[in-house]
Protein backbone atom coordinates (compact mmCIF):
# COMPACT_ATOMS: atom_id res chain seq x y z
CA UNK A 1 0.00 0.00 0.00
CA UNK A 2 1.52 3.39 -0.96
CA UNK A 3 2.63 5.63 1.87
CA UNK A 4 0.47 8.58 0.90
CA UNK A 5 -2.60 6.40 0.49
CA UNK A 6 -1.96 5.25 4.02
CA UNK A 7 -1.93 8.76 5.36
CA UNK A 8 -4.94 9.86 3.39
CA UNK A 9 -6.94 7.01 4.85
CA UNK A 10 -5.83 8.02 8.33
CA UNK A 11 -7.08 11.48 7.60
CA UNK A 12 -5.07 14.35 8.93
CA UNK A 13 -3.40 13.86 12.26
CA UNK A 14 -5.86 14.46 15.04
CA UNK A 15 -4.42 12.30 17.78
CA UNK A 16 -6.58 11.30 20.71
CA UNK A 17 -4.94 12.97 23.73
CA UNK A 18 -3.27 10.31 25.82
CA UNK A 19 -3.87 12.23 29.02
CA UNK A 20 -7.53 12.70 28.32
CA UNK A 21 -8.47 9.04 28.02
CA UNK A 22 -9.67 7.52 31.26
CA UNK A 23 -8.87 4.06 32.51
CA UNK A 24 -5.54 3.64 30.74
CA UNK A 25 -2.86 1.63 32.56
CA UNK A 26 0.45 3.07 33.66
CA UNK A 27 2.85 3.23 30.75
CA UNK A 28 6.58 2.52 30.87
CA UNK A 29 7.97 5.23 28.53
CA UNK A 30 10.89 2.97 27.66
CA UNK A 31 8.62 0.28 26.21
CA UNK A 32 6.37 2.09 23.75
CA UNK A 33 5.95 0.81 20.21
CA UNK A 34 5.00 3.67 17.88
CA UNK A 35 3.72 2.26 14.63
CA UNK A 36 2.43 5.70 13.66
CA UNK A 37 5.26 7.92 12.49
CA UNK A 38 3.92 11.23 13.82
CA UNK A 39 3.69 9.60 17.24
CA UNK A 40 7.26 8.30 16.92
CA UNK A 41 8.49 11.75 15.91
CA UNK A 42 6.71 13.38 18.83
CA UNK A 43 8.09 10.89 21.34
CA UNK A 44 11.63 11.47 20.08
CA UNK A 45 11.12 15.23 20.24
CA UNK A 46 10.39 15.07 23.97
CA UNK A 47 13.23 12.73 24.78
CA UNK A 48 11.40 9.40 24.72
CA UNK A 49 12.91 6.71 22.50
CA UNK A 50 10.36 4.19 21.21
CA UNK A 51 11.15 0.54 21.67
CA UNK A 52 10.19 -0.05 18.03
CA UNK A 53 8.52 1.72 15.13
CA UNK A 54 7.32 0.74 11.66
CA UNK A 55 9.81 0.72 8.78
CA UNK A 56 12.85 2.28 10.50
CA UNK A 57 14.89 2.68 7.32
CA UNK A 58 12.22 4.60 5.49
CA UNK A 59 11.48 6.67 8.59
CA UNK A 60 15.09 7.86 8.68
CA UNK A 61 14.88 8.89 5.03
CA UNK A 62 11.66 10.82 5.43
CA UNK A 63 12.11 12.21 8.97
CA UNK A 64 15.85 12.74 9.59
CA UNK A 65 15.18 15.00 12.60
CA UNK A 66 14.80 14.09 15.39
CA UNK A 67 17.33 11.32 14.91
CA UNK A 68 16.01 7.80 15.34
CA UNK A 69 18.59 5.85 17.42
CA UNK A 70 19.99 2.67 15.94
CA UNK A 71 18.71 0.62 18.86
CA UNK A 72 15.07 1.22 17.87
CA UNK A 73 13.73 -1.99 16.36
CA UNK A 74 11.81 -2.32 13.12
CA UNK A 75 8.34 -3.74 13.68
CA UNK A 76 7.70 -4.14 9.96
CA UNK A 77 5.42 -2.20 7.59
CA UNK A 78 2.66 -0.18 9.26
CA UNK A 79 -0.15 -2.14 7.62
CA UNK A 80 1.24 -5.52 8.69
CA UNK A 81 3.24 -5.27 11.92
CA UNK A 82 5.31 -8.31 12.86
CA UNK A 83 3.06 -9.78 15.54
CA UNK A 84 5.61 -12.31 16.77
CA UNK A 85 8.20 -9.59 17.31
CA UNK A 86 5.60 -7.28 18.80
CA UNK A 87 4.62 -9.95 21.32
CA UNK A 88 8.26 -10.71 22.14
CA UNK A 89 8.99 -7.03 22.82
CA UNK A 90 6.29 -6.95 25.52
CA UNK A 91 5.47 -3.27 25.03
CA UNK A 92 3.69 -1.23 27.68
CA UNK A 93 1.80 0.68 24.99
CA UNK A 94 1.25 0.49 21.23
CA UNK A 95 0.40 3.68 19.35
CA UNK A 96 -0.88 2.76 15.93
CA UNK A 97 -2.57 3.99 12.83
CA UNK A 98 -6.16 2.86 12.44
CA UNK A 99 -5.67 -0.48 10.73
CA UNK A 100 -7.92 -3.40 9.83
CA UNK A 101 -10.05 -4.88 12.60
CA UNK A 102 -8.15 -8.21 12.72
CA UNK A 103 -4.78 -6.45 13.01
CA UNK A 104 -6.10 -4.11 15.70
CA UNK A 105 -7.52 -7.03 17.66
CA UNK A 106 -4.19 -8.88 17.58
CA UNK A 107 -2.28 -5.84 18.77
CA UNK A 108 -4.80 -5.12 21.52
CA UNK A 109 -4.28 -8.65 22.80
CA UNK A 110 -0.56 -7.98 23.15
CA UNK A 111 -0.58 -4.60 24.92
CA UNK A 112 -2.73 -1.53 25.59
CA UNK A 113 -3.48 0.00 22.21
CA UNK A 114 -4.06 3.63 21.35
CA UNK A 115 -4.64 5.00 17.89
CA UNK A 116 -4.25 8.08 15.82
CA UNK A 117 -7.81 9.28 15.28
CA UNK A 118 -9.45 8.59 11.95
CA UNK A 119 -11.22 11.94 11.95
CA UNK A 120 -10.00 14.79 9.83
CA UNK A 121 -8.88 17.96 11.52
CA UNK A 122 -11.31 20.81 11.20
CA UNK A 123 -9.63 23.34 13.48
CA UNK A 124 -6.14 24.69 14.05
CA UNK A 125 -3.82 21.80 13.25
CA UNK A 126 -0.73 23.54 14.62
CA UNK A 127 -2.46 24.06 17.96
CA UNK A 128 -3.69 20.46 17.93
CA UNK A 129 -0.13 19.22 17.50
CA UNK A 130 1.02 21.52 20.30
CA UNK A 131 -1.69 20.27 22.64
CA UNK A 132 -1.07 16.61 21.85
CA UNK A 133 2.66 17.01 22.49
CA UNK A 134 1.97 18.68 25.82
CA UNK A 135 -0.54 16.03 26.85
CA UNK A 136 1.78 13.22 25.81
CA UNK A 137 4.59 14.67 27.88
CA UNK A 138 2.31 14.94 30.89
CA UNK A 139 1.07 11.37 30.51
CA UNK A 140 4.54 9.91 30.16
CA UNK A 141 6.32 11.91 32.85
CA UNK A 142 8.14 14.11 30.35
CA UNK A 143 6.42 17.40 31.20
CA UNK A 144 9.63 19.41 31.41
CA UNK A 145 11.05 18.00 28.17
CA UNK A 146 7.79 18.63 26.36
CA UNK A 147 7.69 22.20 27.65
CA UNK A 148 11.26 22.82 26.48
CA UNK A 149 10.52 21.38 23.06
CA UNK A 150 7.36 23.43 22.64
CA UNK A 151 9.22 26.57 23.70
CA UNK A 152 11.93 25.80 21.16
CA UNK A 153 9.32 25.36 18.44
CA UNK A 154 7.66 28.65 19.34
CA UNK A 155 10.91 30.63 19.48
CA UNK A 156 12.26 29.18 16.24
CA UNK A 157 9.01 29.70 14.37
CA UNK A 158 8.88 33.30 15.58
CA UNK A 159 12.44 33.90 14.35
CA UNK A 160 11.58 32.48 10.94
CA UNK A 161 8.42 34.59 10.81
CA UNK A 162 10.41 37.77 11.45
CA UNK A 163 13.01 36.86 8.83
CA UNK A 164 10.23 36.82 6.21
CA UNK A 165 8.84 40.24 7.10
CA UNK A 166 9.48 41.52 3.56
CA UNK A 167 7.77 38.51 1.96
CA UNK A 168 4.37 38.68 3.65
CA UNK A 169 2.53 38.55 0.32
CA UNK A 170 4.47 35.55 -0.97
CA UNK A 171 2.29 32.72 -2.29
CA UNK A 172 3.76 29.30 -1.56
CA UNK A 173 2.73 25.90 -2.88
CA UNK A 174 3.78 22.59 -1.30
CA UNK A 175 3.18 19.39 -3.23
CA UNK A 176 4.25 15.83 -3.95
CA UNK A 177 5.20 15.11 -7.55
CA UNK A 178 3.79 11.78 -8.68
CA UNK A 179 5.85 8.99 -10.21
CA UNK A 180 4.56 9.67 -13.70
CA UNK A 181 5.76 13.28 -13.63
CA UNK A 182 2.32 14.31 -14.92
CA UNK A 183 0.32 14.58 -11.70
CA UNK A 184 0.82 16.06 -8.27
CA UNK A 185 -0.74 16.04 -4.83
CA UNK A 186 -1.06 19.57 -3.47
CA UNK A 187 -1.66 20.51 0.15
CA UNK A 188 -4.45 22.96 0.83
CA UNK A 189 -6.21 24.47 3.81
CA UNK A 190 -6.06 22.29 6.91
CA UNK A 191 -2.90 20.37 5.96
CA UNK A 192 0.39 20.43 7.86
CA UNK A 193 1.99 22.36 4.99
CA UNK A 194 -0.79 24.94 5.15
CA UNK A 195 -0.37 25.26 8.91
CA UNK A 196 3.35 25.96 8.44
CA UNK A 197 2.72 28.49 5.68
CA UNK A 198 0.28 30.33 7.95
CA UNK A 199 2.70 30.26 10.89
CA UNK A 200 5.22 32.03 8.67
CA UNK A 201 2.72 34.71 7.74
CA UNK A 202 2.66 33.63 4.09
CA UNK A 203 -0.16 32.61 1.77
CA UNK A 204 -0.93 29.13 0.51
CA UNK A 205 -1.00 29.36 -3.28
CA UNK A 206 -3.56 26.56 -3.43
CA UNK A 207 -6.91 28.19 -2.66
CA UNK A 208 -9.00 25.76 -4.67
CA UNK A 209 -11.02 22.84 -3.37
CA UNK A 210 -9.42 20.00 -1.43
CA UNK A 211 -10.85 16.75 -0.17
CA UNK A 212 -11.48 15.87 3.45
CA UNK A 213 -7.77 15.03 3.87
CA UNK A 214 -6.92 18.62 2.84
CA UNK A 215 -5.28 17.57 -0.42
CA UNK A 216 -6.06 17.80 -4.12
CA UNK A 217 -4.69 15.54 -6.83
CA UNK A 218 -4.11 17.58 -9.96
CA UNK A 219 -2.64 17.32 -13.43
CA UNK A 220 0.66 19.16 -13.78
CA UNK A 221 -0.77 21.46 -16.45
CA UNK A 222 -3.34 22.72 -13.93
CA UNK A 223 -0.47 24.42 -12.12
CA UNK A 224 0.62 26.43 -15.15
CA UNK A 225 -1.67 29.39 -14.45
CA UNK A 226 -1.67 29.12 -10.67
CA UNK A 227 -0.58 32.38 -9.01
CA UNK A 228 2.47 31.18 -7.08
CA UNK A 229 5.76 32.76 -6.05
CA UNK A 230 7.60 29.63 -4.93
CA UNK A 231 6.85 25.95 -5.37
CA UNK A 232 8.20 23.36 -2.93
CA UNK A 233 7.94 19.73 -3.92
CA UNK A 234 8.92 16.38 -2.58
CA UNK A 235 8.74 12.90 -4.03
CA UNK A 236 8.90 9.34 -2.80
CA UNK A 237 12.56 8.28 -2.61
CA UNK A 238 11.81 4.91 -4.16
CA UNK A 239 10.32 6.62 -7.21
CA UNK A 240 13.38 8.64 -8.16
CA UNK A 241 14.41 6.56 -11.17
CA UNK A 242 10.95 6.61 -12.70
CA UNK A 243 10.67 10.32 -12.07
CA UNK A 244 13.93 11.06 -13.82
CA UNK A 245 12.80 9.05 -16.82
CA UNK A 246 9.49 10.88 -16.90
CA UNK A 247 11.08 14.32 -16.76
CA UNK A 248 12.50 14.60 -20.22
CA UNK A 249 13.48 18.08 -21.52
CA UNK A 250 10.15 18.51 -23.29
CA UNK A 251 8.05 17.15 -20.45
CA UNK A 252 5.15 18.88 -18.77
CA UNK A 253 7.15 19.57 -15.64
CA UNK A 254 9.86 21.50 -17.49
CA UNK A 255 7.26 23.56 -19.30
CA UNK A 256 5.70 24.98 -16.16
CA UNK A 257 6.45 28.73 -16.01
CA UNK A 258 7.48 28.50 -12.37
CA UNK A 259 9.96 25.72 -13.20
CA UNK A 260 11.34 27.61 -16.20
CA UNK A 261 11.93 30.64 -14.00
CA UNK A 262 13.73 28.51 -11.41
CA UNK A 263 11.30 29.26 -8.59
CA UNK A 264 11.10 25.69 -7.34
CA UNK A 265 12.73 23.99 -4.37
CA UNK A 266 13.11 20.25 -3.94
CA UNK A 267 12.42 19.10 -0.39
CA UNK A 268 14.77 16.24 0.36
CA UNK A 269 12.93 14.66 3.25
CA UNK A 270 9.60 16.36 3.89
CA UNK A 271 6.95 14.01 5.28
CA UNK A 272 3.56 15.77 4.91
CA UNK A 273 1.90 13.91 7.78
CA UNK A 274 4.49 14.42 10.47
CA UNK A 275 4.49 16.41 13.70
CA UNK A 276 5.95 19.68 14.94
CA UNK A 277 9.55 18.71 14.12
CA UNK A 278 8.57 18.05 10.51
CA UNK A 279 6.68 21.33 10.41
CA UNK A 280 9.63 23.25 11.81
CA UNK A 281 11.97 21.71 9.24
CA UNK A 282 9.60 22.72 6.43
CA UNK A 283 9.40 26.24 7.83
CA UNK A 284 13.19 26.45 7.72
CA UNK A 285 13.32 25.22 4.13
CA UNK A 286 10.69 27.73 3.03
CA UNK A 287 12.42 30.62 4.84
CA UNK A 288 15.84 29.91 3.38
CA UNK A 289 14.48 29.57 -0.15
CA UNK A 290 12.55 32.84 0.01
CA UNK A 291 15.48 34.67 1.60
CA UNK A 292 17.75 33.53 -1.23
CA UNK A 293 15.44 35.26 -3.73
CA UNK A 294 15.83 38.67 -2.10
Pick from 113-117, 151-155, 290-294: least confident: 113-117
Domain boundary, last residue among 117, 134, 167: 117
Residue 65's domain comprises 32-117
| Per-residue burial over 178-204, b = 16 or more CB atoms within 10 Å of its CB, e = otherwise | bbebebbbbbbbbbbbbbbbebbebbb
pLDDT tens-digit series, residues 195-253: 999 999 999 999 999 998 889 999 999 999 999 999 999 987 665 555 555 555 567 88
Count of domains forming the chain? 2
pLDDT at 118: 45
**pLDDT category of residue 16 using cuts at 50, 70 and 90:** very low
Under a CB-based contact definition with an 8 Å cutoff, are residues 94 and 33 in contact?
yes
| 226 belongs to a structural domain | yes
pLDDT value at 20 more than 50? no
Asked if 113 and 167 sit in the same domain, the reply is: no
Spatial distance between the Cα atoms of 83 and 81, rounded to a whole number of angstroms: 6
Tell me what the mean pLDDT of segment 136-158 comes to.
97
pLDDT value at 140 more than 90? yes
Asked if 170 and 266 sit in the same domain, the reply is: yes
Domain boundary, last residue among 75, 99, 117: 117
pLDDT tens-digit series, residues 64-86: 999 999 999 999 998 899 999 99
64: domain CATH number? 3.40.50.1980
Spatial distance between the Cα atoms of 176 and 29, rounded to a whole number of angstroms: 34
Amino acid sequence: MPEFSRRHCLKMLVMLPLAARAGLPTVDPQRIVAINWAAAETLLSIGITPLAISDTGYFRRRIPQPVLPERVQDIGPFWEPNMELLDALRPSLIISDVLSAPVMAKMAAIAPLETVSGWYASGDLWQALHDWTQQTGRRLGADAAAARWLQQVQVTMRELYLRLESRRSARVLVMVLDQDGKHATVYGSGSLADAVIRQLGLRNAWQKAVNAAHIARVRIEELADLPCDRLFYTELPTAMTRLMRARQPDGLWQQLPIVKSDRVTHLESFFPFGGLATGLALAGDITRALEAEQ
